Structure 1
Amino acid sequence: MKAIVYHGNGGPDVLRLVDRDLPAPGPGEVRVRVAVSGVNPADCQARSGATTPMGFPEITPHLDGAGVIDDVGEGVDQSRVGQRVWLFMAAAGRPTGTAAEFTVVPADQAVPLPDEAGFDVGAALGVPALTAHRALTVAEDGPRRLRPGALDGRVVLAAGGAGAVGHAVIQLARWAGATVLSTVSGPEKARLATAAGAHHVINYREGDPAAEIREIAPDGVDIIAEVALGADLALDLAVLRTRGTISTYANDGGKPVELDVPRNMVLNTRFQFLVLYTAGAEARAAAAEDVAAAVRDGALPVGGEHGLPLVRFPLDRTADAHRAVESGTVGKVLVDVAS
């Protein structure tokens, strides 16, 4: 089979297209013929060594993807052979990610994908959708699971709604019944956040965004899914309701975070920092179940008309796909694995 591998941390140039033997699924595992592989910033960070050093002499990258199960290991129901699935955390603690024609994953990390959902949808779920679910389910007095109606009466602010996680926050929050706001940096990103389903979109670079948000939500925002905490904290605190939650999954721009402790004490602010690797198996499993339900309901479409443009590369240009992610390309970067 064809696979992308790297043998040492570094820039995108360390990625190589090679021929490898077909992997065999072990007990509790499935083998998937990969159709589309999704690329996330976390994949680039792992390749560069920014997050963790290499744990294996050779690694095939990418956490997310979609395809068809073609073999199962001991203890897995044979009826799963031929099942369309989306994959998450494929390369987490393992050397075999989705940037290959076949990959092997634990069976519970291969989630059934409805026939009406394309492989593009499946490959765009994973890290962004599960992160969005986590961001929406950590509030002190909020739901731990998402379903239609779970966020009725709540106000959710997706910071950076044109990004992959922000896009998933908008879609999942709207599916669950929230009033959804999004902050963006310009007209094109406003168009994308609106296409994703945001009820209100605010350009944080113009006018008085805090006043605009307070006019929409006079009692304040319940949950803020935050991508740039250092840059956005002042705005977040200006619009957060008492006992509101700021769910932080990134700090784009790297601006240091300075906390006004008395102010946050009065607000009873809840800061939830999150990353899927350490969120715990129970939280990841619950998120996968709820995201799968949203997919069945048609709530997580992708493509420019749905607010998430798709930027595609063939397998032999995976290095270019990584460069696109690292350069801040708007939309979801995908690698087409199947010819």
Structure 2
Amino acid sequence: MKAIVYSSAGSRDVLEFVDRQVPEPGSGEVRVRVVISGVNQADWKSRQYGHRNGALMFPEVIPHHDGSGVIDAVGAGVDQDRVGERVWLWEAAWRRPHGTAAEYVVVPARQAVPLPADVSFEVGASLGIPAIAAHRCLLAVQDGPERLGPGALNGRTVLVAGGAGAVGHAAIQLATWSGATVIATVSSAEKAKLAEAAGAVHTVDYRADTAVADVRAAAPQGVDLIVEVAPSANIDLDTELLAPNATVAAYGTEGDGKLTFPTRLVIGRNVRFQFVLVLTMPAAYKDLAVADITEAAAAGALTVGEDAGLPLARFPLQRTADAHDAVQAGGVGKVLVDVA
């Protein structure tokens, strides 16, 4: 099979386009013929910096956690009827050497999730880490629901920072599907259009001197939840916008990596700060997210493409290094690698 591999941490130059043996599924595993591989920030960062002190967990790594494809073989203990099933994949490369940047990947059966019949492989490959992160952030709202779904967030106002990014896009769509009023902060008119296409009813330029007033005009009592990509950079804005008993759910580390906030103010409002890293979340949270995300996708609530607010940048497998560069550069939209 064709695959992208690297055997040392470093720049894009460590990536190689090679032939490797097709893997066999073990007990409780399935093998998926990959159609599309999804690329996330975690993928280039793992390649660039390694696991610990620049070292890799395995002698050779095939990158990428997310993707979509078709099950073509199953291991012991897995229903043979799953062969031929269209699936979306998550965490394929978490503590495993082989991710989705290859023609075939083997994963535990629960990480190959049935893809609803009307949902495209493009959507399937765009779910994974971004959608799971968004789901966890949305459930962090104080006194909130146990599940997402129609009506679950009725009456809630959600502010999504960076509404044109992959996680922000998923957060807008999942929150809208669940009945929330969504405001998104963006940095340009182009990104405002994308956030609105995803379902945001208001967009605000977070760099404007009037940003606080602009959000307050849409949410006079403040917001119930902020889905935050850059907590250290946006903390002053966030604390001005939080309603009493509100929550900041931060899934990113953009900024200087340190967080300083006015304790007296946030204590007075009984504010909660929740930090989210998908890879280390409890398994039960991941399984819940996967179930809700699949339901939302089946309902048509999770869509991709320019018209849906998430432009797709696509690269063939042999140009995976270019795909990594595109994600690292922070471009708008979702980066996909076409494998099949």
Aligned position for 1:219: 221
**Cα distance, 1:255 vs. partner?**
5.6
Residue 44 of structure 1: aligned partner: 44
Q: What secondary structure does 1:313 align onto?
A: strand
In 1, distance between residues paired with 2:261 and 2:201?
A: 30
C-alpha contact (below 8 Å) 2:231/2:255 kept by paired residues: no
CA RMSD of aligned residues (A): 1.0
Structure 2 match to 1:30: 30
Distance in 2 (alpha carbons) for counterparts of 1:71 and 1:50: 31
Q: Structure 1 residue 103: deviation in Å?
A: 0.1
What's the counterpart of residue 106 of structure 1? 108
Q: TM-score, normalised by structure 1?
A: 0.98
Is 2:51–2:57's contact at 8 Å kept on the other side of the alignment?
no
CA distance in 2, matches of 1:50, 1:71: 31
| CA apart distance, 1:256 | 3.1
Q: What is the match of residue 331 of structure 1?
A: 333
CA contact (8 A) 2:305 2:311 kept: yes
Shift of 1:83: 0.4
* Corresponding residue for residue 138 of structure 1: 140
Aligned residue in 1 for 2:296:
294
Counterpart residue number, 2:319: 317
1:1-339 superposed matches below 5 A? 1-49=1-49, 52=52, 53-254=55-256, 256-338=258-340
Which stretch of the first structure deviates more once superposed, 248-257 or 89-98?
248-257
C-alpha contact (below 8 Å) 1:138/1:144 kept by paired residues: no
User: How far off its partner does 1:259 sit?
Assistant: 1.9
Secondary structure at the counterpart of residue 201 of structure 1: strand
- Pair 209,169 (structure 1): closer, same or farther in 2 beyond 3 Å: same
What is the CA–CA distance in structure 2 between the aligned matches of 1:218 and 1:305, rounded to whole Å? 30
Give distance in 1, aligned partners of 2:91 and 2:167.
15
The gaps in structure 1 that reach 5 residues or longer are: none
CA offset at residue 158 of structure 1? 0.5
Q: Tell me, in whole angstroms, the C-alpha distance in 1 between the residues paired with 2:102 and 2:50.
A: 23
Q: Distance in 1 between matches of 2:27 and 2:224?
A: 43
Identity of aligned residues (%): 57
| Offset at residue 206 of structure 1 (A) | 2.3
Corresponding letter in the other structure for 2:184: S
How far apart, in 1, do the equivalents of 2:181 and 2:141 lie? Answer: 16
Q: Name the SS for the 2:236 alignment partner.
A: helix
- How far the C-alpha of 1:269 sits from its partner, in A, is 1.2
Verify the 8 A CA contact 1:318 1:335 in the aligned structure 2.
yes
- Matched pairs, number: 338
Q: Runs (4+) of structure 1 moved beyond 2 Å? A: 50-53, 253-256
The more displaced of 259-268 and 179-188 is: 259-268
1:9/1:48 contact within 8 Å kept = yes
